[in-house]
Structure 1
Amino acid sequence: MYELFVLGELMTGEKHGYMLQDVLKNAVGTGRKISSGTLYPLLARMTENGWINLREEEETKGGRTKKIYEITRSGRERFQSLMAEPFDPPMDADTQNTLRFKMVYFQYVDKEVRLACLNQYLHLLEQNLKHVKQFEFHLQTFKPEPEKQRIQLLRVFEHRKLLGETEMEWIKQEIERVKRD
């Protein structure tokens, strides 16, 4: 997921490491942190793989060198490959973040890749909703004890259904928008 983010960000132009880290922190939200200890080894591996180039420049304040990263032709190919790569089930927070990253960089891939991504994500949402409804049915039919816990579980599943249905509707609208464009 972070590899996709770095390559996607570099598709927009060269960036220094601190900027990549700052943008990534904002992109993944408050619930997840990206540390320098995660980002810089990733950047080093991506440089070793030939997907990005590193250029060092002297900074005027403090005399520290600024590390500037740019994407290579091989990195562009890797980016296209990651954008076309299917999601790994099950539906989880990483899947949702990967979709968000992909959608930010949709402008750099063909319409077919965008539609495949959205349709696959929709399928995962449908599978997830089906699972929730099956478990909900089980709870309503067999009424396991304790009753208070079962009732609260049903409320949680109602919440998950509403979120899932809302997200599915939004994805369907996005699919139609991409088809029109």
Structure 2
Amino acid sequence: MYELFILGQLMDHPMTGYQLRKALSSTVGPELTISFGALYPLLDKLAAAGTLTLAFKTVPPKRPQKLARITAAGRARFHTLMATPVAFNKQTQLTFQMKVNFLHLLTPDQQRATLREFHAFATQQLSQLATQRAHLAHNPHMVAADIQDALRVNQLQTVRAQAQADWVTAQLNQLTKE
């Protein structure tokens, strides 16, 4: 997931580790950002794999900064990651947010494919939440107060998932008009 984000960010222009971390925070929120202790080893790993290069950039009076620049292999890897179906796990939502962040780097057909996959995910979420709601409403193993609280959380999750599905639908409709 972070590999996709780093390569996508570098598609537009070279960036320092600090800039990459700030961009990630802007995309996924400050609570889900990557630590420098994880970011710099990942940059080194991607450089070793040949998907980016690292060079020191001197900006007086600051200390030298590592500047990452994507390679041709990195561009190819980025497009492979964007075309790879998203696995359904705890990172699915974040991965789709990252993919949406890079739609401008894709052809209209690739954009539609990415958004259709995202829509399928949102629809699946809504279906799972409806099933969960039905089980909660008639769960003999829970006390009434716990059921009510769980139904409130389910309602919040449903509103979020519905808003997401509606947003993706609007994006697909916009692409169809263009």
What TM-score do the two structures reach when normalised by structure 1? 0.89
- Contact 1:144/1:150 (<8 A) preserved: no
Residues 23-56 of structure 1 deviation map (CA, whole Å, 9 limit, x = unaligned):
2233221222311111101100111111111222
Identity between Structure 1 and Structure 2 (%): 29
Match of 1:8 in 2: 8
Which whole-Å CA distance do the structure 1 matches of 2:169 and 2:23 have between them? 28
Task: Specify the code of the residue in structure 2 equivalent to 1:158.
Answer: Q
Which whole-Å CA distance do the structure 1 matches of 2:53 and 2:139 have between them? 60
Deviation at 1:143, TM superposition (A): 4.8
Residues 79-119 of structure 1 deviation map (CA, whole Å, 9 limit, x = unaligned):
101111111114x4x22222222122111112222111111
Match of 2:83 in 1: 84
Candidates 168, 174, 177, aligned match of 1:177: 174
Task: Specify the code of the residue in structure 2 equivalent to 1:68.
Answer: L
Match of 1:115 in 2: 112
Match of 1:54, SS state, is strand
Seen in structure 2, the aligned counterparts of structure 1 residues 13 and 142 have a Cα distance that, compared at 3 Å, is closer
Q: Gaps spanning 5+ residues in structure 2: where?
A: none
Match of 1:161 in 2: 158
Which whole-Å CA distance do the structure 1 matches of 2:152 and 2:16 have between them? 46
Deviation at 1:140, TM superposition (A): 2.5
Seen in structure 2, the aligned counterparts of structure 1 residues 143 and 11 have a Cα distance that, compared at 3 Å, is same
Seen in structure 2, the aligned counterparts of structure 1 residues 138 and 70 have a Cα distance that, compared at 3 Å, is same
Seen in structure 2, the aligned counterparts of structure 1 residues 53 and 149 have a Cα distance that, compared at 3 Å, is same
Task: Specify the code of the residue in structure 1 equivalent to 2:42.
Answer: L
Per mean C-alpha deviation after superposition, the further-off stretch among 41-50 and 25-34 is: 25-34
Asked whether 1:30 is paired with 2:30, we answer yes
Which whole-Å CA distance do the structure 2 matches of 1:103 and 1:34 have between them? 19
- Contact 1:55/1:69 (<8 A) preserved: yes
Candidates 121, 127, 131, aligned match of 2:124: 127
Count of residue pairs brought into register by the alignment: 178
- Contact 1:143/1:150 (<8 A) preserved: no
- Contact 2:13/2:69 (<8 A) preserved: yes
Seen in structure 2, the aligned counterparts of structure 1 residues 163 and 25 have a Cα distance that, compared at 3 Å, is closer
Deviation at 1:164, TM superposition (A): 1.5
What TM-score do the two structures reach when normalised by structure 2? 0.91
Match of 2:32, SS state, is coil
Task: Specify the code of the residue in structure 1 equivalent to 2:24.
Answer: L
Task: Specify the code of the residue in structure 2 equivalent to 1:39.
Answer: L
Q: Gaps spanning 5+ residues in structure 1: where?
A: none
